[in-house]
Structure 1
Amino acid sequence: MDLHFTIYTPLTYYKDDNGMRRELPKETYTPHESKVHKREVSSSQDNEEVGLHSYGAVEATPIYINAAFRASANNEAYLFMNNEYVLINYARGSTNDYIINGPLYICDGYPSLARTPFGEHGIDCAFDTDKTQAYIFSANLCALIDYAPRTTDDKIVSGPMTITDMFPFFKDTVFERGLDAAFRAHSSNEAYLFRGGHYALINYSSKKLIHIETIRHGFPSLIGTVFENGVEAAFASHATKEAYLFKGEYYANIYYAPGSTDDYLIGGRVKLILSNWPSLKKILPRNNGRLDLHTHKDHPDEDNGSYDHIEL
C-alpha cells in the first residue's frame, strides 16, 4: 500500500537584520540517493506541498551524525541525527566519552526551534560562535541561536532566513542551496563551511568570504580518505587547531593547520565511530525508515494546534 503525506511547514516568515518581517521562500524536501542525507533546494522547486513516498534504498540507509557543534563547556559537543540530538563529553584523546543528555527531539530540547525546519526536518550543519551562540542550517535556511546549555531557555537571535540573506557572499555559489558541515576556526570570528568537495573559510562577524577551495587542495591529509569529496558533520575540538570530522560510520580527528597545508590526521588514520566512541554504540545508527510527527503540547503556538507523535 502506497502512503502519501502532505507536510505543511508552519513557519512562513523570518525577520531580516532590520527587524522587518519577510516571507520565506517555499521549500520542497525531496529524497535523494541513499548515500546522501543532506537536503538541498533547487531553484526549480516551487511546490508548497510535498508528497512523501516509500523509497527502500533511503529507508535502509543508517543514520549516524548529520551535524554537530562544540559546546561552551570543555570537551562537550552537541551531535545531531536527523531531528534528534545528544550532548556528549567526547573525552579527547581517550575512549572515556559519555552521553550527558539525550537522545532528545530537537524541538523538545530547544523549544525555540519547535515548528521550524530545524526542529522538524532536522539540522544539516552547525558551528559554534562566541559564548553560547551557534549558527544552524537546514536546507537553504539558517539561523543564529543562543542554545542556553543545560536549560530550555534557548532563543533564536537572528533568522530563520535564507543562507544568502545571512551570508550574501554565498550568492551564486554551491553553498547557497545548503551546507553539509562546518567547524569554528582558531582565528577570531572565522569558520570553515563544507559543501560537497569544496569548503569556504569565512568571517561570520564581518560577513566576509575569505576564500573557497577544494578539500583536496586545502586539506592534503584528507586525500585518499572518505572525506576527500565531502564531510557530513564536524565540530571544533577544545584543543587548539583541532577538529572532528564525520561521514557515515567514519570519523577523523584532524589538526587543520590554518594558513598552511601542514594538516595531519591525529592518530594517523580515519577510524570507525562505534569502535572509538563507546557511548555512541548505544544510540547509533539511527533508523531512517520512519517519518516522525511529534507532539508540541508543551510548546504552544498561537497559530497552530498541537499534534501527536506518530512513527510511520
Structure 2
Amino acid sequence: MQHAKWIRFIAQFAQLSRRQRQAGIALLRGNTPQDATVALLESVAQPHLACPACHSSHAHRHGHAHGLQRYRCVPCGRTFNALTGTPLARLRHKSLWLAYADCLLASASVRQAARQLNVHRNTTFRWRHRFLTLARTDRPLRLHGIAEADELYLLESEKGSRHLARPARRRGGHARQRGISSEQVCIVVARDRTGQTLGFVTGKGALTQLQLQRCLLPVMDHDVLLVTDGHAAYRDFAAEAGISHEAVNLRTGIRVQGAAHVQNVNAYHSRLRAWLRPFHGVATRYLPNYLGWRWILDARRIRSPEALLKATVGAFPHLTVT
C-alpha cells in the first residue's frame, strides 16, 4: 500500500466508535470478536459450571459446537455448554453481543441498533429482552433511612400484540376516560436518600393498599421513614405495616417540610418519562424490563459492555449495601 493511502486509511480510525476500535485491535491481535465474547462468557461460567438437568458438577469436556466448549454430565449423560439455561442460550451472532451491549448502555432504539450492527430489527428486539431478563433483577435489597415513594401512570399499551382486546389507537392515542382508570398502568417508585431505587408495576387503575403491601413491605427496613404525597393508600399501608410515615400536601403547594419531601423520587419520575419518550410507547408486558434497564443506567453500576454481558448470564458486580 502506498504511503499516502496508508495515512488516509489510518485517519479513518478516528471516526470509529470505541467498540469498533476495540474490535479492530482484537482482529490485529488475531482474536475475532466472537472469540473474545466466548472467552468472557466461559470465564464467568467456569467457576459455577454444573449440569442444568441434575445440577451435578461432575462433567467432562465433550467437543465444541457453535464456538463453545461442550460438556457431558457424568451422572445423567446430558450435554450442555456455558450458555445452557441462560437467557443467551440458542442466540446467534455471538461476535455482535458486546457491540449490542454497548447499544443498550447508549439507550439505542431497536432500529438504531439494527442499523449499527447490520442485523434485522427483530433480532435486536429479541436481544433487548434476553439481555434484560436477568440484568433487570440486579436491584437493591432494602431501602433505608428516609425513603420516598410516589406513583406515575402510563397509558396501557398492547404494542406488538397480534390480537388486541380493544380498538387500535392511532399514533399512541389518549385514554377515553378522564382521570385514573383501567386504561392506565400504575408504576410505584420508591427511592431512599442514598439513591437506591426500586420500581414496581402494580397493575391497571388506581393504586391500592394491598398493592403497596405486596411491593414495598418486603423491601422496607422496619425503622424506615416513608415520605409520600397525601394519597390514602400510603397512609393505610404505613399504619398496617407499622412504618413511620409522613405525607407532604402537594395540593396546597407545600413541597418541602424540613427533611420531608418527595423531590428525589419525582426527579427520578421525570428522568424515566424523558428516557421512555424516544421509544414511542412501551408494551405494558415489557414494562418491568424497561424499569430494570433504567435502573442500570441511572445507578451506573454497569458501565461497560463486558459488565452488562456478564450480568446477562447472572454475574453481577458486588452490590454495596449502605
Which has the greater radius of gyration?
Answer: 2
The verdict on a shared fold, with TM-score over 0.5 as the criterion, is no
What TM bracket, shorter-length normalisation? under 0.3
TM-score, normalising length from structure 2?
A: 0.22
Higher RCO (CA-CA < 8 Å; seq separation 6+): 2
Q: TM-score, normalised by structure 1?
A: 0.23
